[in-house]
Structure 1
Amino acid sequence: MAETTDSVIIVAGGSGSRMQSDIPKQFLQLAGKPILMHTLQQFHAYNPLLEMVVVLPQNQISYWQDLCIQKQFSVSHTVVTGGATRFQSVKNGLAAVKNKGIVAVHDGVRPFVPVEVIREAFAIAREKGNGVVSVPLKDSIRQVSGQVSKAVDREQFRLIQTPQCFRPELLQKAYALPEENTFTDDASVVEKLGENINLVSGSYENIKITTPEDLLWAEAFLKKQIR
């Protein structure tokens, strides 16, 4: 059940370098709208009363605000300035959260996260303290050590996605820790507290758009949805 006290921090700090674009990837157009707008609309579809905090680099905020005016984008959200790292950006976003319910953190360039996946992640976090979206691996994998590689059981591994949802006191305690290089996502920060991470079944549609190939897939996916 969606709660009126829940929040989502949407982190959008991409530069567009891997996309080979001068435009930051979160602002690239999909079906006439920036990727970031599609992302916000998915969370709005889950819960129109969800508090949304968008974290952007300082030099991108006015550009985003202009886009919102041009596109007459009406999904309510707060914009805050990001930091030098993802850890600092999430920390800044967390400081701006006003609600006291479950807090989700989501990548701004994952615009296709299904509403049912969002719902399940929030529900598991409400029940168990955290809920982190993941999917099984499709391909075979090998572990590499120097010049030697060996096959490993892919069933023992998961690809981690977002949203990653947490009780607010847990996330606040985690982001009070000193930053470490091993912090690759929010789950890894919370895990430092000794918490068990509860995995939630995700979706292969929930891709992170970071390369030109991803953008081609996204355009094809949208065309299929529109038909």
Structure 2
Amino acid sequence: MTEPSVVAVVPAAGVGSRMRADKPKQYLTLAGKTILEHTLENLHSHPAIDHIVVAINKDDGWFPTLPVANAPWLTVVDGGKERADSVLAGLSVLNPGDWALVHDAARPCLHHTDLDQLLAVRSRDDVTGGILATPVRDTMKRAKGNRPCIAHTESREHLWHALTPQLFPAVLLKQALISGLNNGLTITDEASAMEAQGYTVALIDSHPGNIKITQPMDLSLAEFYLRQLTFPTS
């Protein structure tokens, strides 16, 4: 019996307004390539990933100009307005038995050792999938509504920062996302949709370099972490 495939789904239809740039952040240049190219090639270079699906804005004029746009290991689909819409578009081309590995377009510094640990959850019977995450180490403050004043201190015990990739059986994730959207659930990541359906999701401690580029100052830090990776990126 063939082992189910692992297909990476990369939602990349966002505009990244916090970067204050003249193009979506995934097309900014980092160490000689766009952020999106680094992310896609990083995933492709892992031997367990069989294929990649990237969800692009239908009016995106940047992606077709990239060398990676016509790669045989890549399928391009039209993304949606929200992240969950883009992920669903990506899931629509997966086979029923596939595992979906959803990863942010703006996280180019993923370590393959982290990915190995995440992929290992496929053999566990106590969870339905897993995500990369990091334990909260700083003191957490709750603000008074929209005011920049402290209401109270939150306990950081058992709190984790959710990252990506996030790995789930494609069929179950698709059902969870559709159910969540139909019920008005705020879906901030794939795990939140799975949690709402009662599934148990594993937390896999991630390397600190797995940052999401959201602001201009993140670029130099990402370049530093990118240069620490030892696997081929081209």
TM-score between the two structures when normalised by the length of structure 2? 0.85
Match for residue 151 of structure 1? 153
Is the aligned partner of 1:129 residue 2:131? Answer: no
Answer 1 or 2: which has greater helix percent: 1
- Residues 71-90 of structure 1 mapped to structure 2, 5 A cutoff: 74=71, 76-90=73-87
Report deviation, 1:4: 6.7
3-state SS, counterpart of residue 153 of structure 2: strand
User: Residues 126 and 52 of structure 1: is their aligned pair in 2 closer, same or farther, counting only changes over 3 Å?
Assistant: farther
Structure 1 alignment gaps of length 5 or more: none
- Residues 89-108 of structure 1 mapped to structure 2, 5 A cutoff: 89-98=86-95, 100-108=97-105
Please say if residues 16 and 22 of structure 1, whose CA atoms lie closer than 8 Å, have aligned partners that are also in contact.
Answer: no
Q: Calculate percent identity across the aligned residue pairs.
A: 33
Determine the C-alpha separation between the residues in 2 that align with 1:225 and 1:49.
18
Moved over 4 A (4+): 72-75, 145-148, 223-226
Deviations, residues 20-40 of structure 1 (Å, cap 9, x unaligned): 101111111111111111111
Please say if residues 122 and 165 of structure 1, whose CA atoms lie closer than 8 Å, have aligned partners that are also in contact.
Answer: yes
Structure 2 alignment gaps of length 5 or more: none
Match for residue 176 of structure 1? 178
Match for residue 11 of structure 2? 11
User: Residues 224 and 6 of structure 1: is their aligned pair in 2 closer, same or farther, counting only changes over 3 Å?
Assistant: closer
Report deviation, 1:140: 1.2
RMSD in angstroms over aligned alpha carbons? 2.3
Determine the C-alpha separation between the residues in 2 that align with 1:49 and 1:171.
18
Deviations, residues 53-82 of structure 1 (Å, cap 9, x unaligned): 00111111x52121126xx98472001001
Deviations, residues 151-198 of structure 1 (Å, cap 9, x unaligned): 232232100000000022311221231513521110011111111221
Report deviation, 1:210: 1.0
Match for residue 212 of structure 1? 216
Deviations, residues 100-159 of structure 1 (Å, cap 9, x unaligned): 232111101100011111121122144232111110123211123456522232232100
User: Residues 153 and 75 of structure 1: is their aligned pair in 2 closer, same or farther, counting only changes over 3 Å?
Assistant: farther
3-state SS, counterpart of residue 178 of structure 2: coil
